[in-house]
Amino acid sequence: MKKIIAGLLLILCLAVLSGCHGRLVSQEGADTGNAKIPEKFDESQKIELVFWAKNDTNKVQTAVYTQAIKDFEAMYPNVTINLRLYADYSRIFADVITNIATQTTPNVCITYPDHIATYMTGQNVVLPMDEWMEDSRYGLGGSELRFDAPRQEEIVPEFLNECVLSGHTYAMPYMRSTEALYVNEDMVRRLGYELPDTVTWDFVWEVSEKAMEKNEDGTFKINGQKVMIPFIYKSTDNMMITMLKQLDAPYSTDNGEVLLFNDTTKGLLEDIYTHAKSRAFSTFAISSYPGNFLNAGQCIFAVDSTAGATWMGSEAPMMDIEAEQVVPFSIRVLPIPQFKPETPKMISQGPSICIFNKEDPQVVLASWLFTQYLLSNKVQLGYAETEGYLPVTLKAQKSPEYIEYLSRKGEDDDHYAVKIEASELLQRHTSDTFVTPVFNGSASLRSAAGQLIESTAKSARRKEKMSDAYIEKLYASMNSLFQLDQIEVKPAKKVTFGELPAEAKTLLIVIPCVWLVIGVSSLWAGMQKNRKKQK
Amino acid sequence: MKKILCLVLALSLALCAALALAESEFPEVELMTYKQYAEAEVDDPVYVETYVQATQSWWDNKITVYGQSEDGAIFIYNMTCTEEDAAKLVPGTKIAVKGYKAEWAGEVEIAEGATFEIVEGDPFIAKAADVTDLLGKDELVSHQNELVSFKGLTVEAYDETGAAFAYKNAENKTDDLYFKVSKDGQVYDFCVEFYLCGNDTDVYKAVEALKVGDVIDVEGFLYWYNGANPHITSVTKAE
C-alpha cells in the first residue's frame, strides 16, 4: 500500500513538473501564397468584395471610406464592395482569426502587421503582394489602372518596409501616426521650468513630482483642484517598447525570441513604480483618457497618438468633457520624452491594408485594385486630414492640396493647429520612427510590455512593495499570461522557455534528492540482508 | 524509510501548491458591508456581496456586471469569469466579489480582474428609483450605478443634423446608441450600451424610433462617464 502511495505521489510530482513547462508549438514558416495576376481584369464578371475597416468613431472617416467605395465602384462597375466597420482593431483581429477557420475572411482588411503575422500561420491566407506591386499593367502606378495610383517609390520607404514580413510584402501601409507629448505649457512655466523642444524623461518626472505639491486644504497648488495627474500615458505598450528602444535595450529578436524580461526593463519599472506611487504618473487603463485630464487642467504631460490630436487642447474641436470643465491653456505638441534627445526615437503606428487570398484570381485582382485605390491622393488626403495622421505616400504629402492644407494651420476646426502640428511632427521625424519585429506572437509580446507597466502602477497604488522578488514574480506571470514561452522562434526552431516557475525549481531539486534517498535506502537494505545471511 | 520518502514527496507537493497559490495572492480582507465598500479608498482591496441585476456580454473570459443590493449598487468591470459561469449570472443571483476599488472617468467600480463566487441566497431584483428630480444636481452621484428611472424627458436633437440619436457605428449598428434628453432646460447625454442591450433588444429599437420632441420615461443603470451617463435599459412614451 505504501509503495502505491509513494508511486502515486511521484507520478503526481512529475505531472506537476511537466505542467510547469507549458506547450511547445512548432510550425512551419508561413506559406507565401500562390495567387497569380490574371492577364486581364474581366469586367464581365460580377465581383463582390468585403472590406473590413476601423473608424475612430469619426463620421468623416466613415464618409471617406464610403466615398472611396462609391468612386471605385463607378470606375469598376462590375465590382461591389461591402463595408463593415469596427470600433477597435482587436475585434477585427478576433473576427479574422475566426473566419480563417471557416474560410470566410474578408477580401480586404485594415489591420496591423502584428496581426498579419498571426493570420499568416494559416496556409495561403494572406496575399504576398510583391509580384502584384511590380506588374506593369495592374501593379503600383500600372498602365491599366483607371485612377492615379502611387508608384512604389512614391510610398514612404519606412512605412512600406514595415509591411515586409518574412521577406515578402504582405500589406500596404494605409495611414501612419506616432505618439506625441501634448503639454500644458502654462503649468510648466508656473512650476518654474522652460519647455525644451525635446524633453527628457527626467524632465517630465521632475516637473510631474513638483506638480504634486498641495495646499493645506488638500487641493493641488498648481491648479487649485482636488484632481491632478501630471503625467498620463495612453498606450503603456508603446511606453515600455519605446523606452527600451531609446535605451538600445533588448525587447525581442526579429525571429521571435522574447528578450523583454531584462534588467533594463526592471530599472524602468522601478522608476515607474516610484512615480505611480506618488500619483504623479498614471495610465489610460487606470485613470481614463489623458486628453480629458489635460483639457480640464488636471494634467500637464499627456502622451497620446497623433491620430487623437483633435481631442487635445482647450480649443479642441472634439471634446469629451463638459464645456464648464475646460480650463484654457496654451498647448505644445512635442516628440515624446527621450533618454537621448539628440537621437530621438518614436514609434511608428497606424493601420495597413492586407488582402486575403481567394480561389478566383479575378476576385484577388479586384481586391488589389481597391487596395491601390486606397493609396490614391483623394483617399489619402481625405482620411489623413480627419486627424493627425500622415499620408503614407510621398505623392500625397508633396501634393499642392496637402501643402495648402498644412499652410492653413489654425484657421478653423478643419485646420485645427494641434492636429496639423501632430502631422508635421511625424513628417519631420519619419526617419526617427521605428517598429518592433513582427512574428506570430508579437502582438502578445506588445501587450505583455504594456501590462508590466499597468501592473506595476496598480501595485504601487495598492501599496504592494517593489522588490527583486516582485519583479521576478511579475515577469513569470506575464510570461504565463501572454503565453510568451509558446512563441515559435524562427528559423532555427529555437524555443525560449523563460525562467522556470518556483515550484518547478523546487521539484527539480527535490526529485533528485528523493532518488538519492531511494538509492541509499536500497543499498542499506541490501547490506542489511547480506549481514543477516552472513549471520 | 518509505514513510520518510512519502513524507518528503508530500511536503514537496504541498510546497509547490503553496508557491502556485502565492502567485494569485489577494490580500486578506474580511467580507465587507456595502457601507464599508462605499467608504473604502480607491485602490483598496474590497470583498463584498451583491446581487447581479444585469451583465454585459461575456467575452474573452471576462464579464461586466451591474450589481445591486438593498444597500447600494456596484459596477464590476471585466470580472474574471468562464463562459460556463457567465451563464449562471442571471438577474437576482447573489455573488461575493473580491477585487480592487477603482475610479475611471468618475465611475466608481471594482476594477478589471476581480474574482467572484456564487453565494446561496434568495434572489434580489432592484426596483428602479425615480431620480428625475436629481437630474443636474450633485446629489445624483449618490445613486451611481443603481437602477434608476427618469420621467417626462424631452428628446433633443443629437447633433447639427437634427437626428434624435446617433450610432457609434452607423454602418453596421453594432455599437452603442447615443441620445440627448432635456428636463427643465438642461440637456443630458444618455446611452444604450450595446454589450448590455444589443440591436435586437426593445430598448435599442425604441431609441432608433425616437423623434426630436418625444416625451419619454426611461430606466437604466446610472453609469458615470465624466458626469451622469446612464446605460438605458427601457424607453417608453411618457404617460
Per the structure, how many domains does chain A have? 2
Inform me whether the C-beta atom of residue A225 falls under 8 Å from chain B C-beta atoms: no
Residue A525: predicted pLDDT: 76
Residue B135: predicted pLDDT: 93
Please check whether residue A342 lies inside any domain of the structure: no
Is B161:B19 a contact under the CB 8 Å cutoff?
no
Least CA distance to B8: which residue of chain A? A514
Q: Could you tell me the residue range of the domain that residue A516 belongs to?
A: 2-20+500-534
Q: Is the pLDDT of residue B96 over 90?
A: yes
At B16, is the pLDDT very low, low, confident or very high (cuts 50, 70, 90)? Answer: very low
Q: Is residue A83 located within the same domain as residue A139?
A: yes
Inform me whether the C-beta atom of residue A97 falls under 8 Å from chain B C-beta atoms: no
Q: Is residue A392 located within the same domain as residue A505?
A: no
Please list the residues that pair with B187 across neighbouring strands.
B182
CATH number of B34-118: 2.40.50.140
**Secondary structure E strands in A150-259:** 164-165, 168-169, 172-173, 175-176, 179-184, 231-233
Contacts of B45 in chain A (CB under 8 A): 462
Q: Is residue A126 located within the same domain as residue A53?
A: yes
Return d(Cα A225, Cα B43) in angstroms, integer.
21
Return d(Cα A298, Cα A132) in angstroms, integer.
51
> Which residues in chain A land under pLDDT 50?
1, 5, 8-33, 492-501, 504
Verify whether the Cβ–Cβ distance B226 to A321 is below 8 Å: yes
Contacts of B100 in chain A (CB under 8 A): 458, 462
Q: Which residues of B touch A (CB under 8 A)?
A: 1-6, 8-10, 12-13, 15-17, 19-20, 23, 43-45, 100, 102, 104-105, 111-112, 168-172, 175, 226-227
Give residues 25 to 84 of A whose Cβ lies within 8 Å of B.
55, 57, 59, 62, 66, 83-84
Q: Is residue A83 located within the same domain as residue A162?
A: yes
Residue A87: predicted pLDDT: 78
Share of chain B above pLDDT 90, in %: 77
Please check whether residue A235 lies inside any domain of the structure: no
Residue A485: predicted pLDDT: 87
Is A154:A141 a contact under the CB 8 Å cutoff?
yes
Share the mean pLDDT of chain B: 89
Residue A533: predicted pLDDT: 57
Decide which of A398, A432, A457 is a domain's last residue: A398
Residue B9: predicted pLDDT: 54
Q: Is residue A114 located within the same domain as residue A164?
A: yes
Summarize chain B as % helix, strand, coil (round to 5): 20, 40, 40
φ/ψ (deg, to 5) at A165: -125, 130
Please check whether residue A323 lies inside any domain of the structure: no
Contacts of B15 in chain A (CB under 8 A): 503, 506
For domain B129-237, which architecture applies?
Beta Barrel (2.40)
Residue B2: predicted pLDDT: 59
Does residue B8 or residue A527 have the better pLDDT?
A527
Q: Is the pLDDT of residue B172 over 80?
A: no
Collapsing DSSP to helix, strand or coil, A469 comes out as helix
Q: Is residue A108 located within the same domain as residue A150?
A: yes
Cβ-based neighbour number of residue A189 at 10 Å: 12
Verify whether the Cβ–Cβ distance A521 to B171 is below 8 Å: no
CATH 2.40.50.140 boundaries in chain B: 34-118, 129-237
| C-alpha cell, A187 | 503649468
Return d(Cα B85, Cα B93) in angstroms, integer.
12
State mean pLDDT over B197-203. Answer: 94
Residue A190 class from Cβ within 10 Å (0-12 exposed, 13-18 middle, 19+ buried)? middle
Q: Is residue A7 located within the same domain as residue A108?
A: no
Least CB-CB distance to B9: which of A6, A83, A84? A6
Q: Is residue A86 located within the same domain as residue A170?
A: yes
